[in-house]
Amino acid sequence: MKVLFLLDEITLGQEPLGVTTIASVLKRNGYEVDYWRFENEGEEATREFVQTYQPQIIAHHVTTGTHTSHLHINKELKKSFSFLSYFGGPHATYFPEFIRHDGVDVICQGEGEYPTLELVQAYSKGQDYSRIQNLWVKREGDIIRNSCRPFIENLDELPFPDREGILKRCPHLKQAKLLYIIAGRGCPYHCNFCFNHVLKTLQPGKYVRWRSVDNVLKEIKWSRQFLDFGAVAFQDDTFILNKEWLYEFAEKYPREIGLPYLCHVRADLSTPEIVNALKESGCRRAAIGIESGNNKIRNSIMHKEVTTEQLQKAGRLYHEAGIELLGQNLFAAPEETVETALQTIGLNIDMKVHCTVIHFFQPYPKTVLGEMANDLGLYDVSLDNLPPSNHWGPTLKLQDSEIIGRIGHLIYLFLDYPFLFRITKPLLLHVKNRSFRLFILKVLKKIETPLRKITGNSIGSRWHPYYM
């Protein structure tokens, strides 16, 4: 039995840990697995590979925005080959009605390791697979909707991700020289722009779980045979959530691994003790959710439940500890204005973040904030008209939307050259003429590359490639 995972280029921005863990579960049980970059390779090469590999199941990891390209390639392949099409990932999880599309045979909601294994086992034996928990199955025009099983309680029972397989097929993932890893699953918070509040009720059981520290360290050591990495990138939503786990990690990691690492943190959890544990264990960079510089947008609109004062205090703690901060920002949410967008950039500068990442709000259906945007008439929420990336620009119909988008894209310039921000801010705030504002912003964008060449200051959007 052969299973082929078709992966898009956005998913392959880094190792897709969910997919490679599922693949390892299948391999551990004797099934053959491979991967293919269908967007990078193109339709004809994809068709030729499928002809050669002859998979019985073609699996897709789909996110909202990329789902249309997966539907297209699946439809094209269905014209020439006989296979079971299987869709998982965030889009299939939150929008299982996706199965109604032509050519979609099975979708998986939630954690996919064991549902996928049971599907492959049943399909390989010619047995009925229509009653497997977590799966929706299309059968002779009808859709069989199965309930979801409990979340996996013991994460240590899962095999390590299929690094050998994914790196062989997708060697570009080696370029960052980073090991991507996750120490736990689940987030207890209720940010309105996120899906966590939906996901935690989808399956029964404990949602927030951790692997043992020893299991995590074992995976890092094991991964050295496949990847030459100089740092570790923990992908947990909030790495500092479990104090006991963190303190054990901080004691063992420097002794057994000793590499710099980066992780995700929250300002309200960043106490002196926590920051010191991160420092002593080798944390080089912490990604912190700033979201908005405006307290009302961050808390009343986004429900981040973190104050500006807590962010400023956390900024001081990390700065004093010598841990670089990466500011994560969400521009162009409901009630965003030119003034609040400038407040976001100002807060990044005040916190002395080393680098930043800009995201533009996406009004995903079924999220509280996505539905709010729809109710306010700011966006006609549709699954098929959302862009595949949230880095491109504003999606909402806000007043001054174009100006806000240009401000957002200039955050890297302003962060690296704060004097330009101090000069520009009053002009954008007090001169209301739209044409003048756009002229100023266009000029700044035009001079960014020459200015960086003159000063030798590379762009401040450095994320994980910082460790290259």
Domain ranges within the chain, ordered by starting residue: 2-145, 176-186+230-241+260-467
- Write the DSSP assignment of 279-307 as a string of letters: HHHTEEEEEEEEE-SSHHIIIIIS-----
Phi-psi bin for 79: left (phi > 0), alpha (psi -120 to 50), beta?
A: alpha
| pLDDT tier at 15, thresholds 50, 70, 90 | very high
Domains 2-145 and 176-186+230-241+260-467 share a fold: no
Q: Give the pLDDT mean for 144-149.
A: 97
The topology under which CATH files domain 176-186+230-241+260-467 is Transcription Regulator spoIIAA (3.30.750)
Residue 258 predicted with pLDDT over 90: yes
* Whether pTM exceeds 0.85: yes
Residue 381's pLDDT is 56
CATH of domain 2-145: 3.40.50.280
pLDDT at residue 468, rounded to an integer: 35
Q: Check residue 465 and give its pLDDT.
A: 47
Average pLDDT over residues 190-211: 89
Lookup: tokens for 254: 């420097």
Alpha-carbon distance of 230 to 256, in angstroms, equals 14
Say if CB 91 and CB 64 are below 8 A apart.
yes
Read off the pLDDT of residues 417-457 as tens digits, 9 standing for 90 and up: 999 999 999 999 999 899 999 999 999 999 999 999 999 88
**How far is the C-alpha of 219 from the C-alpha of 231, rounded, in Å?**
14
The answer to whether residue 464 scores a pLDDT higher than 60 is: no
Mean pLDDT of 105-131: 97
